[in-house]
């Protein structure tokens, strides 16, 4: 890859997602690009923490919404002027949009008047959504189907911003944020001054989460905090935004041990300083978790409700991620919980405390009482594979279950497919040729039967679609059959839990390539080839 001049990266997501694009920013810098970042105004305070960013352009979202209430023409004029100022100042040679939303796609179009190279999510000339790059299509399809997506979002961002859709050879990515400034560290020390005498260190605690269903009970955090003070003289630092001040009050109401209450008292850089002063962070799935990863502070993170560590876990090796050991977890998006949020109560303070004390006292999670913990939680440890992609490995005394096996195996299957589609004239990435370490006999019989039935149906439909592509235009019936079988394949993939991310991927690609029969036929051939390999794996294991 060669230098790309000046690049604009668009990320209009939350604080955590903004931090998760740091490895992409670093790779662009290493390739010689001068990087500008467009983000939401309320997260622009993260700029001092981001490395290799020449300038951050804050999008005034609240002001634009207020303008819309007054007169949509005023809002449109403000947005156009915002885009024009950036485009004229930066004059980008490359625009990389990491956000799938319509406003972000519109910005990528407005920045691209000078025909800059675009990657990620944009609009076509008619104003419809379009994805540039095979990994962008994967993410857009997997967004609503992330329960069956095996890749960490950091790696997906990296691949979206890579014009070849392949890992940068000889480069092992890290999420490395800039150290907090001296004034931020001083502000943090002033907050820590309320800690009692005899403190032997600090442990950060992020009590809140973006969704109440993903929020471990405050009383459970307090119980762990009391144990850490009692056994190790470690003082908890309560972290969070102003909207979470009630959680601090609840914590202090039930806890008899000391703590430092920093909730609502920090900007983003001071928050980073407090995290850096912590020996470890205990957190829900939050932006603070990604902040800790970027500062190389280990964490124990709880993934409740829809959250799961394989796709949004901390991008730092040797962090511990806990999921409730319940058959309903992770639960589907946009669905009410039928079990009265049982996952919030499943993982006990005793289990979390054992793991934290083990890591802080003996330097490893494995020395905790796993036999007891596994009754409550699935324990995952973060790591990296041979290609530098993040992964989670199950820390268990029991043989791996179907979901654990399938998440690991999908990483190999998907990499084969995406590498092939990104660059069909190049060999598959080293280490991704065979699903080593997996055997079909390790899966349950029910899993194999369910998956192979779906794969057989999908293969039959793909074969028919390949043949029907040659007949389209020769008869009206051929076109009708093609459309009907496209939808039948969609139904098959969506109905199989383990293949739903593939269903989203198929939906994206058939919309992108459906207008060009040659491209569409090539798509059906490639998918058939790879699904046949998936099917053969299970055939050989029976």
Average pLDDT over residues 140-156: 81
Nearest in space to 414 (alpha carbons), one of 432, 437, 438: 432
What's the pLDDT score for residue 141? 86
pTM of this prediction?
A: 0.93
- Tokens for 133, please give them: 């790059």
pLDDT digits (tens, 9 = 90+) for 237-293: 999 999 999 999 999 999 999 999 999 999 999 999 999 999 999 999 999 999 999
Same domain for 231 and 379: yes
| Structure-derived torsion over alpha carbons of residues 183, 184, 185, 187, reported in degrees to the nearest 10 | 90
Nearest in space to 278 (alpha carbons), one of 192, 355, 209: 192
What's the pLDDT score for residue 162? 82
Among the listed ranges 65-69, 77-81, 332-336, 393-397, which one has the minimum average pLDDT value? 332-336
Domain boundary among 160, 192, 217: 160
Same domain for 431 and 373: no
Give a yes or no: residue 370 inside a domain. Answer: yes
Give a yes or no: residue 67 inside a domain. Answer: yes
- Tokens for 324, please give them: 């409730």
Same domain for 203 and 66: no
Same domain for 225 and 259: yes
Tell me the pLDDT band of 541, cut-offs 50, 70 and 90. low
Same domain for 87 and 15: yes
Nearest in space to 447 (alpha carbons), one of 491, 407, 396: 407
pLDDT digits (tens, 9 = 90+) for 65-107: 898 889 989 989 999 999 999 999 999 999 999 999 988 999 9
Do residues 173 and 334 lie in contact, with contact meaning Cβ atoms separated by under 8 Å?
A: no
Q: How many domains does the chain contain in total?
A: 3
Same domain for 299 and 226: yes
Same domain for 293 and 224: yes
Question: Is residue 333 scored above 60 in pLDDT?
Answer: yes
Same domain for 115 and 45: yes
Give a yes or no: residue 38 inside a domain. Answer: yes
Structural domain containing residue 122: 6-160
Report the distance separating Cα 463 and Cα 447, nearest Å: 24
Same domain for 385 and 342: yes
Average pLDDT over residues 449-464: 96
Tell me the pLDDT band of 437, cut-offs 50, 70 and 90. low
Same domain for 458 and 360: no
Give a yes or no: residue 391 inside a domain. Answer: yes
Same domain for 77 and 210: no
What's the pLDDT score for residue 338? 86
Same domain for 219 and 153: no
Give a yes or no: residue 462 inside a domain. Answer: yes
CATH number for the domain including 292?
Answer: 3.40.50.2000
SS (H, E, C) 177-242: CCCCCHHHHHHHHHHHCCCCCCCCCEEEEECCCCCHHHCCCHHHHHHHHHHHHHHHCCEEEEECCH
What's the pLDDT score for residue 5? 87
């Amino acid at each position: 890859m060669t230098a790309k001049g000046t690049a604009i990266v668009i990320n209009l997501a939350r604080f955590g997602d903004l931090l998760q694009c740091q490895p992409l920013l670093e790779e662009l810098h290493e390739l010689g690009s001068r990087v500008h970042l467009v983000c939401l105004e309320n997260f622009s305070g993260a700029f001092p923490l981001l490395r290799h960013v020449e300038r951050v352009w804050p999008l005034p979202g609240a002001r634009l919404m207020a303008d819309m209430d007054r007169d949509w023409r005023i809002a449109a004029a403000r947005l156009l002027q915002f885009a024009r100022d950036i485009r004229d100042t930066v004059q980008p040679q490359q625009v990389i949009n990491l956000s799938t939303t319509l406003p972000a796609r519109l910005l990528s179009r407005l920045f691209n008047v000078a025909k800059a190279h675009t990657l990620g999510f944009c609009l076509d000339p008619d104003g419809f959504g379009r994805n540039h790059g095979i990994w962008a299509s994967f993410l857009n399809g997997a967004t609503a189907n992330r329960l069956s997506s095996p890749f960490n979002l950091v790696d997906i961002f990296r691949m979206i911003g890579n014009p070849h859709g392949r890992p940068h050879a000889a480069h092992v990515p890290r999420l490395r944020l800039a150290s907090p400034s001296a004034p931020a560290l001083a502000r943090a020390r002033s907050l820590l001054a309320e800690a009692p005498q005899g403190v032997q260190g600090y442990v950060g605690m992020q009590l809140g989460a973006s969704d109440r269903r993903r929020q471990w009970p405050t009383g459970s955090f307090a119980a762990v905090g009391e144990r850490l003070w009692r056994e190790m003289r470690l003082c908890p630092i309560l972290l969070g935004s102003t909207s979470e001040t009630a959680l601090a009050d609840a914590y202090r109401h039930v806890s008899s041990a000391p703590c430092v209450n920093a909730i609502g008292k920090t900007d983003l850089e001071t928050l980073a300083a407090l995290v850096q002063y912590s020996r470890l962070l205990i957190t829900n799935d939050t932006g603070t978790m990604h902040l800790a990863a970027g500062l190389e502070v280990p964490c124990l993170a709880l993934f409740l409700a829809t959250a799961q560590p394989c796709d949004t876990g901390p991008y730092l090796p040797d962090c511990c991620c806990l999921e409730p050991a319940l058959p309903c977890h992770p639960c589907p998006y946009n669905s009410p919980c039928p079990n009265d949020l049982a996952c919030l109560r499943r993982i006990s303070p005793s289990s979390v405390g054992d793991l934290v004390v083990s890591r802080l006292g003996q330097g490893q999670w494995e020395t905790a009482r796993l036999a007891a913990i596994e009754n409550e939680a699935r324990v995952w440890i973060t790591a990296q594979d041979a290609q530098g992609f993040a992964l989670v490995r199950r820390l268990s005394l029991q043989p791996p279950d179907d979901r654990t096996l399938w998440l690991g195996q999908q990483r190999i299957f998907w990499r084969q497919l995406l590498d092939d589609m990104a660059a069909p004239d190049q060999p598959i990435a080293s280490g991704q040729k065979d699903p080593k370490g997996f055997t079909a006999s390790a899966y349950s019989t029910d899993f194999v039967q369910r998956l192979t039935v779906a794969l057989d149906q999908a293969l039959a439909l793909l074969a028919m679609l390949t043949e029907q592509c040659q007949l389209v235009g020769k008869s009206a019936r051929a076109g009708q059959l093609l459309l009907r079988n496209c939808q039948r394949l969609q139904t098959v993939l969506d109905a199989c839990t383990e293949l739903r991310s593939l269903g989203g991927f198929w939906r994206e690609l058939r919309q992108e390539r459906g207008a060009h029969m040659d491209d569409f036929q090539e798509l059906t051939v490639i998918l058939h080839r790879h699904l046949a390999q998936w099917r053969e794996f299970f055939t050989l294991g029976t």
